[in-house]
Structure 1
Amino acid sequence: MANSDRVKVRIPPKAKKGEIIEIKTQLSHDMETGLRKDAAGRTIPRHIVTRFTCTWNGEPVISADWHQAVSANPFSSFFAVASASGKIKLTWFDENGEIFEYVHDILVD
């Protein structure tokens, strides 16, 4: 599992029950398409994030399958309804088997 130092996240630390919160994420990743060439003319191998998921206390909030058209350092923004205190878990999977994970504790009152 890759370290979360490549992840930037903006999630409020607390929310009121039923409140709609915005979750913003960005992953530092080249998202190399496999179509570019290096200075020597060799093709740079494809290396992309293929899947992103978010769960709240283990329940799915959002999941997305990504393809080579997603930009480098992909940014995501989405909304969730605050239902209970617990953990919001964000996970990115790349095609080389790397997993980037970030867990955020949220207090819902």
Structure 2
Amino acid sequence: MATRAVITLPAAIKAGEAFEVRATVAHAMETGYRTGDDGSRLLRDLVRRFECRLDGEFVFAADLFAAISANPYLAFWMRADKPGELSFVWRGDNGFEHRETRALQFA
């Protein structure tokens, strides 16, 4: 199944000024506590870690747990002094990994 991520950056970013980054990924986030129709426990399937880097340098990271809803949404503020490439990675149970990149350009 293809994974879909949505990443939102401001239309105009100025060097040295803070701006908000918003990111979400399509993922069911099964806790492993529920049972299926046949009574057997559903396997845990969580996104466990989110990381954002600018040209390889950590900008933001978050560890996620069972209390996070499906399709986890994260928003954070950052600032940059030069253009570059933002890379985003979501990692989880059962070998889940989804990567996205966005060009960071200034107005």
- Common fold by TM > 0.5: yes
- Where relative contact order (Cα < 8 A, 6+ residues apart) is larger, the structure is 1
Structure 2 gaps of 5+ residues are none
The alignment's TM-score, normalised by the length of structure 1, stands at 0.89
Please name the residue that 2:7 is paired with.
Answer: 9
Please name the residue that 2:103 is paired with.
Answer: 105
**Is 2:40 aligned against 1:42?**
yes
Give the counterpart of 2:17 among 6, 10, 19. Answer: 19
CA RMSD across the alignment: 1.6
**Is 2:54 aligned against 1:56?**
yes
Give the counterpart of 1:30 among 25, 28, 31. Answer: 28
The alignment covers a number of residue pairs equal to: 107
CA contact (8 A) 1:15 1:82 kept: no
4+ residue runs over 4 A deviation: none
Deviation, structure 1 residue 12: 2.7
CA contact (8 A) 1:14 1:106 kept: no
The alignment's TM-score, normalised by the length of structure 2, stands at 0.91
CA contact (8 A) 1:13 1:106 kept: no
CA distance in 2, matches of 1:58, 1:13: 23
- Hey, which of these two has a bigger chunk of strand by percent? 1
CA distance in 2, matches of 1:41, 1:97: 25
Structure 1 gaps of 5+ residues are none
